[in-house]
Amino acid sequence: MPFPSIRACLICEDVRQELGGKMSLMGLFGMSPHVEIVVQNFEQSFLRLFFVLITEGGQGHFQLSTRLLDSNGRDAITPLQSPIDIAERNRTGVLALGFGPVKFPGPGEYRLVLETTTGSTQYETSFRLSRGDPSQADRL
């Protein structure tokens, strides 16, 4: 069975499961690849960082490897291994992939890469981290 198509990727600080199958997104940074996350201090970790994927179609059981790569193509953090089950074909779905705590080495371009156990890349997108000015902390 095919892996679902990924139509969009939202990046946020946290996701909360709500009643009725809904999700609440906290601290939304934006939709990749048009996301720049301003970081005051790279010595501190993000408590959590979520990638919320809007999917369409697909069906089956998949072992997913989620990687965050730096601009040199190296793993910025330990890859996340997770099984996912897509029960209904032709349905739009939401898949929330969370990392935490996450400490990035510094500013730059980072890539989210989803691979299945066959090693084939199913989805890839990017986002940018930049260093913020501490004097403007209330605006960041």
Tens-place pLDDT, residues 110-139: 999 999 877 789 999 999 999 987 665 554
- Note the pLDDT of residue 90: 63
Q: What is the mean pLDDT of residues 34-52?
A: 91
Residue 134: the pLDDT is: 62
73 occurs within a structural domain? yes
What is the pLDDT at residue 100? 86
Please tell me the distance from the alpha carbon of residue 50 to that of residue 59, in angstroms, as a whole number: 23
60-117 pLDDT, tens digit each: 888 999 999 998 999 988 888 888 888 776 678 888 999 988 889 899 999 999 998 7
Quote the pLDDT of residue 140. Answer: 41
Is residue 138 a part of any domain in this protein?
no
Domains contained in the chain, number: 1
- C-alpha closest to that of 33 among 109, 132, 120, 115: 109
**Residue 139 forms part of a structural domain:** no
Provide the CATH number for the domain around residue 96: 2.60.40.1930
Q: How many CB atoms lie within 10 A of CB 79?
A: 16
In a domain, 84, yes or no: yes
Question: What range does the domain containing 123 cover?
Answer: 5-133
DSSP secondary structure, 52-93, as one string: EEEEES--EEEEEEEEEE-TTS-BSSPPEEEEEEE--TT-EE
Once rounded to an integer, what is the mean pLDDT over residues 28-50? 91
Query: What tokens does 34 get?
Result: 């048009």
Q: Does some domain include residue 118?
A: yes
Predicted local confidence at residue 65, as pLDDT: 92
Is residue 122 a contact partner of residue 133, using CB atoms and an 8 Å limit?
A: no
pLDDT of residue 80: 87
